[in-house]
Amino acid sequence: MARRRDGIETHRRILAVAQEVFAEKGYHEATVEDICSRAGSNIAAINYHFGSKEELYARVWRKAFDEANEAYPPEGGLGPDALAEDRLRGTIHSLVGKLVDRGRIGHSGKLLLREMMNPTEVIERVKDDALRPMQERMRRLMKEMLGPGASDEQIHLCGMSVVHQCLAIGIRLFSGKIPPHVRFDAPTDQLVKTLTDHIARFSLAGIERIRQDIRSGVGRTAECGRGAANSPSATDSPSAGTCVGISPK
């Protein structure tokens, strides 16, 4: 019984230390030797409990992902019957919180952001399984907010625009390149609220404008692209590039 307890404790300690080391150095720079040294264990323990460095990283990343989601649930924990605008704000709050709140989720946010900035191939399957439900949730939300006339391209671009506003903040914090006129040193709850409010207002205004364009038949980039591709003189037309936002020379 004592040996089993020791094994459980070793497993837990290696996971905790590995999360710290991977968040600090990234997958490629982190070494098994460093993790073992900090955890007070040997390499054989990692092989026994996890099989390899790759499997350890996969377990650590998924643990970080689950911890971050528990602290900041997708869509703010709102149900499907909540207003779409409230669910969008909840989504933004969840993303911002995961990236800036080091106190509540420890190294999890930094580890997740590092993987987004420098993806590793070793956990592609784990990431796909974890992220697919969130991506599908965002797709449904954007489709609902844009209306039935929205193209797949418009739905994807709007969702991508919302997410990348949040990621840009995390990247600035991660790199230390923080604008002096923005109070990133505010208390965490206040910072999360301020950033969430701004991104939500900005995103809602943009989504509303695109929804109006869809209703009036303006900005159908997907249809424009398909029409240009099917045209015999598509490459010769001076307006062909405007379908993807490129101004003709």
The tens digit of pLDDT for each residue in 32-58 reads: 999 999 999 888 989 999 999 999 999
Q: What letter does residue 179 receive in the DSSP assignment?
A: -
Closest CA to 57 of 14, 92, 98: 14
Q: Can you tell me the distance from the alpha carbon of 150 to that of 148, in angstroms, rounded to the nearest whole number?
A: 6
pLDDT at 209: 97
pLDDT over 60 at 76, yes or no: yes
The sign of the torsion formed by the CA atoms of 34, 39, 45, 47 equals negative
Highest mean pLDDT (candidates 65-74, 122-131, 230-239): 65-74
pLDDT at 5: 61
Between 202 and 99, residue with greater pLDDT: 202
Domains of the chain, earliest start first: 1-51 (1.10.10.60), 58-227 (1.10.357)
Q: What letter does residue 176 receive in the DSSP assignment?
A: T
Q: Can you tell me the distance from the alpha carbon of 85 to that of 54, in angstroms, rounded to the nearest whole number?
A: 40
Q: Can you tell me the distance from the alpha carbon of 19 to that of 233, in angstroms, rounded to the nearest whole number?
A: 55
Question: What would you report as the CA-atom Rg of the chain, rounded to the nearest whole angstrom?
Answer: 22
Candidate from 184-198, 199-213, 216-230 with smallest mean pLDDT? 216-230
Percentage of residues of the chain with pLDDT beyond 90? 54
